[in-house]
Amino acid sequence: MDKKQQFNVGYLVLAFLAVTAIQVWLGSRDVSQIPYSEYQQLLKVGEITDIVVSENRIRGKFKSANNRRTYFQTRRVDPAIAGELEAAGAKYTGATENTFFTNLLSWVLPILIFFGLWMFLIRRIAERQGMGGMLSIGKSKAKVYVEKDTGVSFKDVAGVDEAKMELEEIVSFLKDQDKYGQLGAHVPKGVLLTGPPGTGKTLLARAVAGEAGVPFFSISGSEFVEMFVGVGAARVRDLFEQARKSAPCIIFIDELDALGRRRGSFGNFGGGHDEKEQTLNQLLAELDGFDPRAGIVLLAATNRPEILDPALLRAGRFDRQVIVDRPDRTGRAAILVVHMRKIKEGPDADPDKIAALTPGFTGADLANLVNEAAIFATRRGGKKVTLQDFTEAMERIVAGSQKRSRLLNPTERERVAYHEMGHALVASSLPGSDPVHKVSIIPRSIGALGYTLQRPTEDRFLITTDELKNRMAVLLAGRAAEELTFGEVSTGAADDLVKVTDIAKQIVTRFGMTKDVGQVVLEQQRTSYLGEAMLNTAPRDYSEATAREVDTAVRNLIDEAYRKAISTLKKRQRDLKKGAHLLLEKESVTPDEFPALKPLAGARNSTAGSA
């Protein structure tokens, strides 16, 4: 219960006690307190009536007023003592005791306890239901951080140098507003941080607040939206009101897509009475209303900028978009240096070597990698974290944890060995394939009975047609090895077929790399084996004849890749048999242990990237 709620409860209790006291006082104005001796005399002469006798008190009514009040009461006296005092002619009465507050508390205190328990239960239920307390339902839930609370500066952020350079202007403005005002410039009203999950967008926002040393209002976009219509808009108003009182300051809204989704989409049919739309409308009004010279900077982060409302992204609201992308090899090494300060690394744990093994990893992935490596080192009883620990951690993250409890029969185990060795040998034979890091037939938690781990040596951003076709051949090489060795195939290539089909479809429909279909885009970006893009939900907008051509082209590409895998393995059948037997013996094989896995002369080692 906050201070305002405590004040309201205390005020109600005081008002209740005051009303009770007034009623008791008004009732006591018409009652006379008389001595017990006077009561006995009045009783003898018949001047009283309507007598009520209790254990310690006698109440009644006077027959005639005679300048008296209407009612009387007296304290009872022991009859033996009363007789002695009456014989002596003394005036006497019983002792009066003030029991008003005792009697009052005897029934007021239980009510107060019940009321307090009721308020506590109501508050707990409201918090559990996500209502945040009924008495403060329209207040902002933003957590206010100051410099000592964020504990983050630009030295704690690595691998995103371009984004840091753009945000340094924000810090400079907050520290020295007069410098920018001399030429009439003002800081952008809003800065939107976009990029894949885990790239450090929230960390960057906290670093800006830490560098500038200003209050930092942090809230998630989903916290604005409640079950009551209008509550989100009230919270937006309250948040900006708090910010104006604390200017210069930074407002950070994480997961902006939960609040700023395009209006009229996803089943809303353009209605204007939806709670999210009202909240978004209020945010747009606040962005138009505040003066950027006041020193309020709005930062927001999202990994889905394509679904944001266009009105939110126009100039004058979010003036600047900063892309926080996955780090390159140099950036990954810098990030690893930051996280490896917290562990005791061995002499061979070179951040640059580890960065070479982790292409595509984000800052969050690298932080997890360092932690997993420290766990592996602790588990084996080591005093320092070595490069081998990082390799084991990387394999766990990429391929899943080992499941040695899953026992395969000898026939299945042999088939898996040939399957995985087929992948590895074709990868080492074809140009444009990623170098083989390890081949294993130890089952993993992701459902794989074995795996071939390939890690690139450099970052790539373009990939050619031949490199894509070679990658398809590598994926189909496992099934090709089974067919060459056993004369039939198994279901072990199910995941490989999914990836191969995905690549073939993108070659035809997205990259325009086939002559039959031509250089035309038939599908937009979508989640695929080649990268992490948004799924295209638009209906197919080409004819059945074109669809037949697409299907034929995809099937031809897959058949061509399979023939290439068969042809390559026929030339290396001796290595295939020797490598499979070595796998059955050792369960895991590296190129150092089996040199045939190293790239052949003329096979250019390169990294597959998402074009």
The pLDDT tens digits of the residues spanning 215-267 come to: 888 888 877 776 555 677 777 888 888 888 887 888 888 888 888 888 765 44
Query: Please, are residues 18 and 59 in contact by the beta-carbon 8 Å criterion?
Result: no
Least confident among 137-151, 188-202, 228-242: 137-151
The CATH number of the domain covering residues in 329-398: 1.10.8.60
Question: In the numeric block, which tokens belong to residue 149?
Answer: 């609370």
Mean pLDDT calculated for residue range 16-27: 57
| Position 129 pLDDT exceeds 60 | no
Find the helix or strand (DSSP H, E) in which 451 lies: strand 451-454
* pLDDT of amino acid 527: 42
Least confident among 8-12, 29-33, 52-56, 414-418: 8-12
DSSP state of 218: E
* pLDDT of amino acid 466: 92
* pLDDT of amino acid 404: 61
One-letter amino acid of 558 = I
Beta bridge partners of 190: 298
* pLDDT of amino acid 608: 30
| Position 605 pLDDT exceeds 60 | no
| Position 119 pLDDT exceeds 70 | yes
DSSP, collapsed to helix, strand or coil, labels residue 67 as: coil
Active site residue 458: no
Q: Are strands 320-323 and 190-194 parallel, antiparallel or unpaired?
A: parallel
Question: In the numeric block, which tokens belong to residue 370?
Answer: 């360092």
* pLDDT of amino acid 529: 41
Least confident among 88-102, 386-400, 443-457, 543-557: 88-102
pLDDT band, residue 151 (cuts 50/70/90)? confident
pLDDT band, residue 125 (cuts 50/70/90)? low
What pLDDT, in 10s, does the model give residues 442-457?
887 666 788 888 877 7
DSSP state of 454: E
Q: How many CB atoms lie within 10 A of CB 70?
A: 10
Q: Is 3.90.1150.10 the CATH number for 410-597?
A: no
| Position 606 pLDDT exceeds 80 | no
Provide, rounded to the nearest whole percent, the portion of the chain with pLDDT above 90: 20
Beta bridge partners of 444: 402
Mean pLDDT calculated for residue range 577-586: 92
Q: What is the mean pLDDT of the chain?
A: 77
Tokens 């992204």, residue?
313
What homologous superfamily is domain 143-323 in, according to CATH? Answer: P-loop containing nucleotide triphosphate hydrolases (3.40.50.300)
Query: Please, are residues 335 and 363 in contact by the beta-carbon 8 Å criterion?
Result: yes
* pLDDT of amino acid 535: 42
Sheet strands (E) in 63-147: 71-75, 143-145
What pLDDT, in 10s, does the model give residues 279-335?
888 888 887 766 666 678 888 999 888 888 888 888 878 888 888 888 888 889 999
| Position 423 pLDDT exceeds 90 | yes
Mean pLDDT calculated for residue range 200-223: 83
* pLDDT of amino acid 483: 94
Domain residue ranges of the chain, discontinuous segments joined by +:
3-100, 143-323, 329-398, 410-597
Least confident among 163-172, 213-222, 522-531, 580-589: 522-531
One-letter amino acid of 329 = R
What pLDDT, in 10s, does the model give residues 453-483?
887 777 777 889 999 999 999 999 999 999 9
596: left (phi over 0), alpha (psi -120 to 50) or beta: alpha
pLDDT band, residue 11 (cuts 50/70/90)? low
| Position 417 pLDDT exceeds 50 | yes
What pLDDT, in 10s, does the model give residues 60-114?
777 776 556 677 677 766 665 555 556 555 555 555 555 556 666 666 777 777 7
| Position 139 pLDDT exceeds 70 | no
* pLDDT of amino acid 269: 43
Measure the CA–CA gap between 111 and 131, rounded to whole angstroms: 26
Query: Which one from 277, 286, 420, 482 is the annotated catalytic residue?
Result: 420
* pLDDT of amino acid 603: 53
| Position 180 pLDDT exceeds 60 | yes
